[in-house]
Structures are given as C-alpha cells and as structure tokens.
Amino acid sequence: MKRLLTARLLSTVLLLSSVLSGCSNFRNLSNEIQAIDSITNQYTITLSQPASGSAVVIEQIKDINKSEVDGYDGIIDSDSIHLQLSNNIHYLLVFEDKNQDLTLQADEAFSVVNLRGHKDKSTIEVSLAVNESDAPRAFVDRSLSSLLKIELDLVDIGTVVDLSDPPFEKGNAKLGMWQPLTFLLEDNAGLYFLSEYDPNKIPILFVHGINSTALDFAPLIEKVDQSKYQIWVFNYPSGLSLSLNSKGLNNLFHTVVTEYKIQQLHVVAHSMGGLIVTNSIRQCRIGQLCDFISSVTTISSPFGGVESAKQGVEYSPVVMPAWVDLNPDGQFIADLFIDNSKIHIPHFLAFGYNSGDLFNTNSNDGVINLSSQLSRPAQLNADQIRGYNENHLSILDNDDLFEDLSSFWLAAEQ
C-alpha cells in the first residue's frame, strides 16, 4: 500500500511539475509578445486595384527626405500583405515594380504612406498612380541595393564561432522558442561562420528548425569537405513568426552578398527551417536577389503544416507566433509555393519515415507526418526526392543522405 501511495504521489508531483513548467513557459511567452508589441506596429496593406503581372515593392523608411531604406517587402500574386514594423518606421513607399528591378522609375505607379496617420493593427488601403511631379526624388531611379541601410543591431554577421559556443546550447533552443526577444537581446542570433571567410570556398548555410539551434547539424557538418566548402549557420529565435524570420534571413542574405560578393551558396534546412528558407526565396525572387543561391536542401520539413500548431492556435492561452504560420489551414502554408516557377533554384527534398516507436504505426518520422513532409506542392517543386529510414533527428547523421547531398551540390555547381 505504501508503494502504491508513493507511486501515486510521484505521478502527481510529475504532473504538477509539468503543468507549472508549462504555465511558466506561457507566462514568459506572454511577456515577450507584449514587449515585442511595444516596439513594433502591425499593419495590413491592401491594394485598391491588384497589380496584375507585376510585383509590388514596399520600402520601409524612417525619413522620407533621406536616401535610405530601412527594410523592404513585396506583394506577390496577392493584393494584400501583413507587415510587422519597428515603430521607428514612419513611411512606406509602395510602387508597382513592372520590370522587377527593385527600382522606382518615373513611369511606375506608386504611393507614399505616412504611418503617423494610422493606428497600430490597422488596415491601410493603398491606391497606386503614376505622378512624376510628386514622386519622392530621393528614391526615383535609385536601386534598392544602393538605398538599403538595414540596422542589424541584435544579430551577428560573419562572427567566427564554434558549435560548442553559448548561442548553440540546448538551453538557448528553448529560450528562442518561449522567450524570443530575450534570445535576441542576449546575442544568440545571427549568421555565423565556423571558420574565417575564404573567397575560394563555396559557403553552405545551415538553417535549423523549431526548438533547436545549429548544433543539431553537427553530425552532418562533420562530414562536409571543408577544403572545398565553408560552413555558415543561421541561428534565430524559433518562436517568432516564420514570416519575420524569413525576412530576417533575407536581410542577412542581402548584407552578406553585398559585403562578400558571393557567387554561389548552398542552403541546407531542417524541419521548420525548410519553410523559412522556402518563404525567404519566394520573397527575394523580386529583382532576382536569389541568383547567388545554387541549391536548397530541405530535410524533414512540414510543408503541409503541423496539426498540433493548429490546436495551439485554437486552444492555447497564449499563441506562439510560429504556430500561426505552421497551422495547416493558415495563409503561410497556402502561399509557400504560389507561382514558384518565376524563379527556380534546384531543390532536394529529403524525408524520414522511421517513427522510432515500436507501437507507433502512423506514417511519420516521430515528429512530422509523411503527408506533411511530402505535400504535393513541395513534391512538384522538388528536383530530387529521397527518403531515409531515420527519425526526425537521426536523419542528420545518415551517410546515404550525405552522399546524395554531396552529389546534388556538385550537379548544382556545374
């Protein structure tokens, strides 16, 4: 009887511990979201008339009289976009980029939006019109690359690190999910190099998934021929929305390519990282800013979304921003491969099918369902599809995957 009571007491303690831990996580997340909301504003930009056959570029500007753009976005194959902007951004220059050169020409329709006249979380309807006399002269016939002055105070670029360094510790994976702002403020985010930059070596950029850091790639990175390739890793707070992390990756791409004049680069992404990379490429195809990317490899990525994220959105007391984009019924998943034929980068889709559980008869890798890893739009976009008898993490140490990956890189380079 004493043993039975002890067992019950232990199970009760464990249950209470789990609940309290969960409450702590949600409390932290709630505080972080409130802090982020206090330094950002959200808007939905809608076009009064859709720009058929053209991309619409949105330049984010602090001072309309200075020749500086502090960020950019684009409306592609849609008539609206959701923006989350620093509250230091006071203007939007919105223009129809007919020739997709990321440059406002005098004959292109545009509109300047003064955000001071709009409240946070408001919908702004924009009408685009050609008006040469009112065009902001500081931006006409000026390429975006010459105007961009992106402030990246909270991220590192090009810092040489080791995967044993603090940003990649497992504790920081949890921090990035539940306390994304703290993760940023504690200098854990950035595009890091694992060796000094070498212009004679091709970079391979690794992008991790949710509740992870670049450390997950260690088994795969060890196999790479580092006499030919140099390793870069993107470490980011995985609890933030995939849209924001995609834009962050785009900003880093722009900065690195401008500074180092990159001609070739391979991207390898695991799990949710594959969605971030796919969306990033979808955005940077405006103006052919992705031309330097030689190939993209996604490993065990939930292209069809994650059902538990949908449940989190519907029932959780605090909704993690990443869950909104991982929702199978959400707009982010629906838009991932919209009209991707306008720019095609060789895509290697790798999936795992070993659940790792003797009693699990579902078709998954222990974390992501096969139906999500192999969504039809993702398969149609892929140049090569390979499956491996591995679970969600063990696939990163699979020799056959690395052999297939090496061959794919070589073919893309040629």
Task: Locate the domains of the chain by residue range.
Answer: 40-147, 156-413
CA angle 267, 263, 256 (to 5 degrees): 70
Provide the edge-to-edge strand list for the sheet that holds 190-193: 156-160, 190-193, 229-235, 202-207, 265-270, 293-299, 347-352, 384-388
CA-to-CA dists, residue 41 to 36, 61, 88, 182, angstroms: 9, 14, 9, 19
Q: Mean per-residue pLDDT for 44-72?
A: 85
Q: Mean per-residue pLDDT for 94-99?
A: 89
Asked whether residue 203 carries a pLDDT value surpassing 70, the answer given is: yes
- Which SS3 state, helix, strand or coil, does residue 18 take? helix
Per-residue tokens: 171? 């504790």
Q: What's the distance, CA 61 to chain centroid? A: 22
> Which of the pair, 251 or 58, is modelled with greater confidence?
58
Per-residue tokens: 218? 């260690």
- With a CB cutoff of 8 Å and minimum separation 6, the contacts of 341 are none
Q: How far apart are the first and last CA of the chain?
A: 72
How many C-beta atoms lie closer than 10 Å to residue 36's C-beta?
16
Asked whether residue 150 carries a pLDDT value surpassing 80, the answer given is: no
CA-to-CA dists, residue 155 to 57, 127, 244, 268, 398, angstroms: 25, 35, 14, 20, 31
Q: Mean per-residue pLDDT for 34-49?
A: 91
> Which of the pair, 290 or 69, is modelled with greater confidence?
69
Q: What is the pLDDT of residue 12?
A: 42
Assign 330 a pLDDT band (cuts: 50, 70, 90). very high
Asked whether residue 18 carries a pLDDT value surpassing 70, the answer given is: no
Q: What is the pLDDT of residue 282?
A: 84
- Which SS3 state, helix, strand or coil, does residue 218 take? helix
Considering the domain 156-413, what is its CATH architecture?
Answer: 3-Layer(aba) Sandwich (3.40)
Q: What is the pLDDT of residue 413?
A: 94
Q: Mean per-residue pLDDT for 312-335?
A: 94
Assign 6 a pLDDT band (cuts: 50, 70, 90). very low
Name the residue type at position 371.
Answer: S
CATH numeric code, 40-147: 2.60.40
Sign of CA dihedral 99, 100, 106, 108: positive
Name the residue type at position 394.
Answer: S
Bridge partner list, 84: 42
Q: What is the pLDDT of residue 325?
A: 96
Average pLDDT, the chain: 88
Name the most confidently modeled range: 47-61, 105-119, 336-350.
Answer: 105-119
Phi-psi map region of 141: left, alpha, beta (phi>0 left; psi -120 to 50 alpha):
left
Asked whether residue 4 carries a pLDDT value surpassing 50, the answer given is: no
**Residue 45 to residue 47: CA distance in whole angstroms:** 7
Asked whether residue 15 carries a pLDDT value surpassing 50, the answer given is: no
Name the most confidently modeled range: 17-31, 127-141, 314-328.
Answer: 314-328
Assign 154 a pLDDT band (cuts: 50, 70, 90). low
